[in-house]
Amino acid sequence: MEKFTQKLRKLIKIKLILLMLLPNILWASITVENTAIPGGIAVINFETNHTDPKAFYGGIELYVQKIKDNHYQVLVGIPLLTKPGVKHIIVKDFSSKNIEFNVAEHNYKEQHITLKGKKKKYVNPNLKHMERIKRERPILSAARKIFSNKKLASMNFIRPVDGVTTSPFGLKRFYNGEPRRPHTGLDFAGDIGAPILAPADGKVILTGNFFFNGNAVFIDHSQGLISVYIHMNEILVEEGQHIKQGDKIGTIGQTGRATGAHLHWGVYLNQTVVNPNILIKE
């Protein structure tokens, strides 16, 4: 009997601690260092007594997190092609105000890639492939534009693959000598079939096979923070599925415009590709 009461007391104690922690869990935040460069994330702090302040950059809603009390923080994804200089966001609480920030210059390296044989079609796609690309474009862009309100606890990201990074973010790319879009993600080397893990809690918003991306998964981490996984071999999740940090979402492959087996990992913030490394804390 005594043992039972002891156990009960212990349980009540744990419950009380959990209750005390609850507001903090709801307001957990992502620790991000200010990297106000093209392809980086500007971190802007502000104070307000409003309980649900919103912020915008170029008309696009931004990720806002509460730090504590009346201290809030905005995370702004800066497009890769942004010219350095003074920019501003608009914060809307009881009124509307401008907050300025500075974007510094950053020079990304060049990368030259040669596609041979069957993979050559990815350099200059034929008419049939162009039609497919056109069909897929709105589906992909709609997924990147999703802005869901905060329902998930914000958290620092973990690496989706336990492997070395082969291509850094932002490289200026040339395919068979022709300039193409810069590298909008981080590449991880790995064997076909190696597991890919969810870097944080989220909801699967898109899965499918696309011309350039091959097998792809898009995960919504709320407030315009979206992560994408491309060139996958297998997809192990379904659209609408809620996933936890560390869940296996698929495996490494070389589908789509990939020269070898690897995972291309991309992260979007306010519809802008940012360097995923900024979100990882080890």
Which residues contact Zn ion by CB under 5 A? Answer: 185, 187, 264
By beta-carbon distance, which residue lies closest to Zn ion? 264
d(CA 273, CA 67): 24
* Partner residues linked to 99 by β-bridges: 89
Instruction: Please report how close the Cβ of residue 274 comes to Zn ion at its closest, in angstroms.
Output: 14
- Residue written as token pair 């009346």: 70
List for the chain the helix, strand, coil content (%; round to 5): 20, 40, 45
Give the rounded distance of the alpha carbon of 165 from its chain centre.
Answer: 17
Specify the residue, 144 or 264, whose C-beta has the smaller distance to Zn ion: 264
Instruction: Please report how close the Cβ of residue 236 comes to Zn ion at its closest, in angstroms.
Output: 20
Specify the residue, 23 or 179, whose C-beta has the smaller distance to Zn ion: 179
Instruction: Please report how close the Cβ of residue 232 comes to Zn ion at its closest, in angstroms.
Output: 12
Instruction: Tell me if 67 sits within 8 A of 29, measured CB to CB.
Output: yes
Instruction: Please report how close the Cβ of residue 183 comes to Zn ion at its closest, in angstroms.
Output: 6
Instruction: Tell me if 152 sits within 8 A of 124, measured CB to CB.
Output: no
Burial class (CB in 10 A: 0-12, 13-18, 19+), 27: middle
Specify the residue, 1 or 81, whose C-beta has the smaller distance to Zn ion: 81
Instruction: Please report how close the Cβ of residue 113 comes to Zn ion at its closest, in angstroms.
Output: 10
Instruction: Please report how close the Cβ of residue 262 comes to Zn ion at its closest, in angstroms.
Output: 7
Count of CA atoms in the C-beta half-sphere (13 A) of 139: 16
Specify the residue, 187 or 201, whose C-beta has the smaller distance to Zn ion: 187
Specify the residue, 170 or 185, whose C-beta has the smaller distance to Zn ion: 185
Specify the residue, 34 or 277, whose C-beta has the smaller distance to Zn ion: 277
Give the rounded distance of the alpha carbon of 200 from its chain centre.
Answer: 10
